[in-house]
Structure 1
Amino acid sequence: MTTADLPQTDRKTAHPRGRPSLGSGSLIALVLLLAGIAATTTYRSDSEDRTSGKAAFDASKYAAGTYEPKVVPAIEKNAVDIVTLHKAIAADPETAGKRYGHRPGTGPYSYATTVTGTAGAAENGLLRVTVPGLAKARVSVQVGPAVNGTALRDSAGFITFGQFTNQVEYADAATALNTEMKDKVLRAFDPEAVRGRKVTVVGAMTPLTADVLTLTPVSIEAAS
């Protein structure tokens, strides 16, 4: 049957291609549906966490508000002479850690410490320091450009994993604290200027053995 064979009333509603046309009722329903979807859709900026809706973690901002006001004072307050620490760690690492250090979970202990000795050459980002009483231990200070590890974060004693949303934020906080330290301490520091001179360094370390002690500094002072 063709359109011409349809009754006069049916010809008005037939679609030119043989499909039924969208009635006014269906069109209204569609408009209402789309309006409802738009009304219930939440739009988030790129600065928000897409799963929780909270503002995304800003590691640089965290470090700027934590490093100098909190981390540095905590390390300076709790710094133990490195000779004392070396003896304690060599004798009993677990006891030394419980007495002097902090650690996240079951990881290695981190310590706030102070070192006084003679500065040597800086090689591969490490400034060697010869410390009286530590003839067998290698003591070095990270002087950049790369500063590695989480000693600043972990030795402070008040920064815990539970303060962050996930492991990524926790790791980013440690990296940002290192970056903040580089800006505040290492930017103006010249290793060659202290070579052969007596220096005092306050910082943090996470030693894997008692004989390799690498500090991340929060201050480096050379004797005049």
Structure 2
Amino acid sequence: MSTPAASRARGGRVPRRRIPMGWIAAALAVVLLAAIGFSTRYRSAESVAAAGPRRFDPAAYGARMYESRVVPAIERKAVELPVLVEAMHTDMREAGRRYGVRHGTGPYTFAVKGTGRAGPAASGLMHVTVPGLPPGTRVSLQVGPVINGTALRDVVGFIGFRQFLDQVEYADAATALNDRMRERLLRHLDVRRLEGKRISFVGAFSFLTPAVVTITPVSIKEIP
């Protein structure tokens, strides 16, 4: 009877014990999970939100831009309304080039100022009779509560679509400026008391026709 030692002496091989494949798979899984655990950084919901892209805050944008940049730009660029309307009747393309701002293929937007006599307010508009305009020209100031359009955003020239994430934010910027104007100007304005009074105004409008001028104001003052 031969022994294992005798078998090795005769050059024989001892059969190797095979490790079950299931054990190997389980060991690899443990190693992988341990590696994942060491490399994973756990973050709170607050830290994830802070690290992500900041959401656009329309109210903060309006507060930051309206008084410090938008109003001064409109006041600086404003042309007397009779001068502008005459230029538009003479050569609309030249009037737009000289006095207006245009974004892409959109309408020209103009900053204007003027004086006139305030009429009654209806449907959010206060009509103003401005001397020196062609007969049939209808001038109105938006007095709310709803303020339409993007004139305050578009007329300044330094607010463009590429500054925003998408079209929604771009539209929200215009609404924010309108809302800020309503809060800072129209909230304190007694529109009914102005009826029949001489007023001065500064604002902006987007061109429709030379005969229809609907202005989003940044200033409305009674003339003593």
Report the CA distance shift for 1:128/1:54 in structure 2 as closer, same or farther (over 3 A): same
Partner AA of 1:193 in structure 2: R
In 2, the alpha carbon distance for the partners of 1:42 and 1:26 equals 30
Matching of residue 178 in structure 1 with residue 178 in structure 2 = yes
Aligned to 1:88: 87
- Tell me if structure 2 keeps the 8 A contact 1:79–1:113: yes
Q: CA deviation at 1:34?
A: 5.3
Aligned to 1:194: 194
Report the CA distance shift for 1:36/1:169 in structure 2 as closer, same or farther (over 3 A): farther
Aligned to 1:32: 34
Aligned to 2:161: 161
User: With structure 1 as the length reference, what TM-score do the two structures score?
Assistant: 0.81
In 2, the alpha carbon distance for the partners of 1:196 and 1:202 equals 18
Q: CA deviation at 1:170?
A: 1.3
**Gaps (5+ residues) in structure 1?**
1-12, 14-19
Normalized per residue, the structure richer in helix is 2
Residues 31-40 or 97-106, more deviating: 31-40
Partner AA of 1:92 in structure 2: D
Aligned to 1:8: none
Report the CA distance shift for 1:78/1:40 in structure 2 as closer, same or farther (over 3 A): same
Aligned to 1:7: none
Q: CA deviation at 1:54?
A: 2.3
Q: CA deviation at 1:55?
A: 1.2
In 1, the alpha carbon distance for the partners of 2:39 and 2:101 equals 52
Q: Percent identity?
A: 46
Q: CA RMSD in A?
A: 2.4
User: What do the CA deviations read for 1:160-219 (whole angstroms, capped 9, x no partner)?
Assistant: 222222222211111100000001000111110100000111000112100000000000
**Gaps (5+ residues) in structure 2?**
1-19
Q: CA deviation at 1:141?
A: 0.2
In 2, the alpha carbon distance for the partners of 1:196 and 1:171 equals 35
Matching of residue 212 in structure 1 with residue 212 in structure 2 = yes
In 1, the alpha carbon distance for the partners of 2:154 and 2:38 equals 50
Report the CA distance shift for 1:121/1:184 in structure 2 as closer, same or farther (over 3 A): same
In 1, the alpha carbon distance for the partners of 2:24 and 2:197 equals 89
In 1, the alpha carbon distance for the partners of 2:193 and 2:114 equals 18
Matches within 5 A, 1:142-153: 142-153=142-153
Number of residue equivalences: 201
Partner AA of 2:112 in structure 1: T
Q: CA deviation at 1:105?
A: 1.2
Matches within 5 A, 1:97-112: 97-112=96-111
Residues 108-117 or 57-66, more deviating: 57-66
Partner AA of 1:141 in structure 2: L
In 2, the alpha carbon distance for the partners of 1:22 and 1:189 equals 81
In 1, the alpha carbon distance for the partners of 2:34 and 2:91 equals 73
Q: CA deviation at 1:63?
A: 1.4
Q: CA deviation at 1:29?
A: 3.9
- Tell me if structure 2 keeps the 8 A contact 1:104–1:161: no
- Tell me if structure 2 keeps the 8 A contact 1:119–1:128: yes
Matching of residue 132 in structure 1 with residue 131 in structure 2 = yes
User: What do the CA deviations read for 1:67-98 (whole angstroms, capped 9, x no partner)?
Assistant: 10011001001110111111111222211111
